[in-house]
Structure 1
């Protein structure tokens, strides 16, 4: 087991991202890629595509066309594509935040997507592996980290970075299938709530802390104008 307190500075720098990713891989040992993220410097490029040029190059259209062939309706196919991309962008990093208060950069210029042999998304990767941490993190102040002053600052930063990717995905979906904006952001909200609900169960960690952090991320996204909370019916 990695001991951050006694490791060398070089080892600590290399282990900041590795530790965060390994924690997520252990959540679901049977399918370790469900929540984990990869460092692209360690990956070949087979089946990987960078998010921004991939969206511009028709990746969503291809995913939607394939899903439409396998599902009963075009609507179901569009929701499946949206849900898969939202998990890659939001679900994985929120899992890390609610578990450990750590986040990589999910911004559009940093994120990569990995496809499995069936054409579905099964992994995500990043170019810049810098991890945002909180002041009480064992890695706080180490190379490879940026220490934010409090949870609220982490939530605000994460919301803005996620939205750079989510806005681009929604734009392409809308061009492809006229996807409803409220529905898209509701799926984002469900991904956040889902991670905050299931990750502490999988990790046997504090559910109240995870719930608080999940609500904090929802609050941060709502504050910048994205409707991730379901509208109440009077």
Structure 2
């Protein structure tokens, strides 16, 4: 008599991503979308737009015009829009970096944006939910996870992946709102430092380690010649 064959169900390659986002949603239970992102495979497309397409199709200009019409100061409106877009690209992923030394892919072609009822940004999503970790991380052998050799490699990779999106946003903000290069990259720095400052307290992780990781990320931006910690005159 043949013995029954035990069939192991396939492992969900998005398990690591889902678990990570559960932790990020828990950072602010009343506002769970502040730091987490969505897997686009689980989402309908209503109110979602691909970041690369949206920037090229003028969505940034529309967002700016809407905010400028509602605010008394057009410069502040420009910074509000730029900050929201920067947070979608780098602020959210830095929440994971500073608390866990892990990251998803913030590449331009991987990012989606979700608009709220007022046309603002209230969420972000990913086409590819692969998580990057450091060699030796307990998740390194899991499906949907790629290990990088060291922490420095993580920052270099993150900056490389963030830059196309941030550059397009910066160009769009300069064109429609006259936002300067110096001010844009200072907002990028504020997004990184903000995550490094607030997330460790929310996640109950080391504040000194979070600050160190934030500064390491800024150093990686600087190594690419970006004015995140110095005056840039153009």
Report the TM-score when normalising by structure 2: 0.92
Q: Does structure 2 retain, via aligned residues, the 8 Å contact 1:12–1:142?
A: no
Q: Count residues with an aligned counterpart.
A: 225
Supply the distance in 2 between the matched residues of 1:92 and 1:9 (Cα, whole angstroms).
Answer: 32
1:190 aligns with 2:190: yes
Which structure has the bigger radius of gyration? 2
1:90 aligns with 2:90: yes
Supply the distance in 2 between the matched residues of 1:181 and 1:197 (Cα, whole angstroms).
Answer: 24
For structure 1, list consecutive stretches of 5 or more residues without a partner in the other structure.
1-7
Which residue in the other structure is 2:46 paired with? 46
Shift of 1:60: 0.5
Supply the distance in 1 between the matched residues of 2:141 and 2:114 (Cα, whole angstroms).
Answer: 31
Supply the distance in 2 between the matched residues of 1:208 and 1:129 (Cα, whole angstroms).
Answer: 28
Residue-by-residue CA offset, 1:88-121 (whole Å, 9 max, x unaligned):
1110000000111111111111100001112111
Computed over aligned residues only, the root mean square deviation of the Cα atoms, in angstroms, reads 1.5
The residue matched to 1:225 in structure 2 has which SS? coil
Which residue in the other structure is 1:121 paired with? 121
For structure 2, list consecutive stretches of 5 or more residues without a partner in the other structure.
1-7
Which residue in the other structure is 2:152 paired with? 152
Supply the distance in 2 between the matched residues of 1:14 and 1:112 (Cα, whole angstroms).
Answer: 17
Which residue in the other structure is 1:71 paired with? 71
Matches within 5 A, 1:1-234: 10-11=10-11, 13-231=13-231
Inter-CA distance 140–12: structure 2 relative to 1 (3 Å threshold): farther
Q: Does structure 2 retain, via aligned residues, the 8 Å contact 1:20–1:102?
A: no
Supply the distance in 1 between the matched residues of 2:9 and 2:185 (Cα, whole angstroms).
Answer: 41
Report the TM-score when normalising by structure 1: 0.92
